[in-house]
């Protein structure tokens, strides 16, 4: 039983590290180039703009909140899923609810244009 628990824990840690690294690179790219070029439509909740709303988007929001910086443009607009004009842990919770298909999801999945 301990081996299975260790393997599952290692798998989750690896997935988290992968997501954290991807989000850190995305946030760094946003910081370096705040003028994100319009590319058509985007989805609220798809913070890293990979075409899907998943746990990586939640990690991106939480990392941005912990680092005290969230870039301008599409990334920030996609993260504000409750529409209050600011990005908070409530937005991360709504994205997580969308991923888990439960609770209040705000505007997650809705399309917006830049």
Number of domains in the chain: 1
Helix 55-67 to helix 2-32 angle (10° resolution) is 60
Tell me what percent of the residues of the chain surpass a pLDDT of 70.
Answer: 61
CB burial string 5-40: b at 16+ within 10 A, e below: eeeeeeeeeeeeeebeeebeebbeebeeeeebeeee
pLDDT digits (tens, 9 = 90+) for 57-69: 999 999 899 988 7
pLDDT, average across residues 6-14: 47
Mean of pLDDT values over 94-104: 96
What predicted TM-score, i.e. pTM, was given to this entire model? Answer: 0.65
The residue segments making up the domain with residue 72 are: 2-113
CA 47 distance to own-chain centroid: 4
| CATH label of the domain that carries residue 50 | 1.10.1330.10
């Amino acid at each position: 039983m301990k081996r299975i628990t260790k393997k599952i824990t290692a798998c989750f840690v690896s997935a988290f590290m992968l997501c954290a690294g991807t989000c850190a690179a995305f946030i760094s790219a946003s910081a370096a180039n705040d003028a994100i070029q319009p590319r058509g439509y985007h989805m609220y909740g798809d913070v890293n703009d990979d075409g899907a709303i998943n746990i990586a988007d939640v990690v991106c929001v939480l990392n941005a909140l912990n680092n005290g910086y969230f870039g301008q443009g599409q990334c920030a607009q996609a993260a504000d899923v409750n529409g209050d004009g600011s990005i908070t842990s409530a937005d991360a919770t709504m994205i997580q609810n969308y991923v888990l298909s439960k609770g209040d999801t705000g505007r997650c999945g809705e399309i917006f244009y830049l």
